[in-house]
Chain A
Amino acid sequence: MEASLKSRTRQPAHGPLHRLSNLLYRKPNLYLALLLIPPLLWFGMIYFGSLLTLLWQGFYTFDDYSMTVTPELTLDNLAALFLPANYDIILRTLSMAIAVSLASALLAFPIAYYMARHTTGKTKAFFYIAVMMPMWASYIVKTYAWTLLLAKGGVAQWFVDQLGLAPALHFILSIPGVGGSTLSTSHLGRFLVFVYIWLPFMILPIQAALERLPPSLLQASADLGARPWQTFVQVILPLSIPGIAAGSIFTFSLTLGDFIVPQLIGPPGFFIGSMVYVQQGAVGNMPMAAAFTLVPIVLIAIYLSIVKRLGAFDAL
């Protein structure tokens, strides 16, 4: 009896696989290490390492006459960012990124709210697909399509004419900083395309945040005497701010780094992304391109610290 019990409880390990799984069970740290080493190698060396190498090149010297790069360290490239021509590019990109993020948040919130709180089952699946579907098509194709939609004599123009709003459009296009000669060559057109392209990246995080909101919180708010708008301002909005923050990090950083939309739509004038593209491609000025790359990173770091200070992540 005793012997049979013993043999049943203390089974000898069969084979190396069995022994390995026992070892991993007894040493959870080893298990974690095995799990994490491949992604950490990828993330640390390929991703982070190359980013640091790139940024390091921002301190190399570019010789304008010979068009060659020498590894002599200098701060000239960073200083050059503050030259009026370059500084304009940064401001133009930054203000577009802010405008796009704000507009996306305003547009995305009602959709996300409806998805999270008023749809179930198949309707919810339909909305997911509807929101994601534009992302299935190539981004360049969509942008080209928009150049046609917004062009003179295009669909957008036709709608405006049909609605009798041509004078209003004309007025808007004449505002400096917003307008341009036609919609497709205006700041407004560029803004519209950016909002169109990045909107799903704003909807999904807000929807996820609202989805996590227990219905009893809203009932508790109403129960305590809050009218619907008070519940919205005091409970729903503060608790969805992490989602808005996450979404705006996407829209903000994607706009800061984009180089295709600014080339195809809107008035002439570089964005940070197109400047990096030109500097390293056509000019071969890798150090200046690297210096420009630093700008979005710094801007996003500043943006995150502001968002954090506003308490957006307190409810996480």
Chain B
Amino acid sequence: MSAATEVGDILEAYARRGVFRGFSRDQGRGGKGLFRLLWHRDQVFQLAFDNRRQRLRIACVIPAVPAASPMYQDLKAWLKGRQDAALPDHRRCDPDKVSLRTYNRGGSVALTLTVLDDDLAYAVRKLVSLVNELYLDFLSDGLYYDWLVETFGLDPDRPY
């Protein structure tokens, strides 16, 4: 089984369990794979896997966050906190196994996770878990309530 297939199979299992409401895969050449996940706030997340670089990347994990904004700084701090040694193993993103980076292009925040120890399954699961917590935990702060409503066009009476 190719690494891209392995990534796709793990993600598809999440879709079967209702974590993603929609899923598709497009396996490219050279060990690359592109996966579309219909997920939080009814967004389609595009997850790219590059086997040569051992890298998983979501090009826009969260939109409309200017690079110079306090929100972006908070987000980076929150992500760093996910690697804190004080967290229990099942919640921690082990920095010895994966490295985490964010990029900001015109407000679209990309999240990249690089596999450090060949444990691709761990990396995929941690990426899914991180994005999930980003939406359920980081964005639940009252400071971002207006941002949530504006960015995702939510009904303010039904922001959940």
A is bound by B: no
Q: Which residues of A contact B (CB under 8 A)?
A: none
